[in-house]
């Protein structure tokens, strides 16, 4: 069982998956910074200085100005602004992955793998040529 597990763990697909997860986690921090630090401030400014992360509804408990203050006071909140931020992050990540896959597919189309004919194909070509020469 240990030998089978070791073979499974060192297969190329598992290693590629692990690398993808690590790179994806790092990419997530970049996207979060892009959304929170680059995109949301101008968007909030265009909307009159609003910050989406501060959009929330207090369901139960004391009303506060920020979700953090409401939670500190023990209120139950519905943080729909954070949901909007998450949707924007998802769209950015999905678009980036789309561009990556599109580029990878284009690279695959540009570099077709040319393989040498097999021994059987060579023999069949010789037979075909011999038949044509007789005719």
pLDDT single digits (tens) 40-65: 788 778 877 777 788 899 999 898 88
How far, in Å, CA of 102 to CA of 100, rounded? 5
Mean pLDDT of 27-41: 81
pLDDT single digits (tens) 98-120: 887 888 788 777 655 678 888 99
Which among 10-19, 23-32, 40-49, 68-77 has the top mean pLDDT? 68-77
Q: In the chain, what percentage of residues exceed pLDDT 70?
A: 96
Instruction: Tell me the domains of the chain and their CATH numbers.
Output: 2-134 (1.10.1200.120)
DSSP secondary structure letters along 36-59? IIIIHHHHHHHTTS--GGG--EEE
Report the predicted TM-score, pTM, of the whole model to 2 decimal places. 0.54
Q: Which two tokens mark 2?
A: 């240990």
């Amino acid at each position: 069982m240990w030998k089978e597990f070791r073979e499974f763990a060192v297969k190329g697909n598992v290693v590629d998956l692990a690398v993808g997860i690590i790179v994806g986690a790092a990419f997530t921090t970049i996207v979060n910074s892009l959304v929170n630090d680059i995109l949301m401030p101008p968007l909030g400014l265009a909307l009159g200085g609003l910050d989406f992360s501060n959009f929330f509804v207090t369901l139960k408990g004391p009303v506060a100005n920020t979700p953090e203050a409401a939670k500190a006071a023990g209120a139950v909140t519905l943080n729909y602004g954070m949901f909007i931020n998450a949707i924007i992050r998802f769209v950015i990540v999905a678009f980036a992955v789309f561009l990556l896959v599109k580029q990878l597919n284009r690279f695959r189309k540009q570099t077709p793998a040319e393989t040498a004919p097999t021994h059987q194909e060579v023999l069949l070509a010789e037979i075909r040529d011999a038949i044509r020469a007789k005719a």
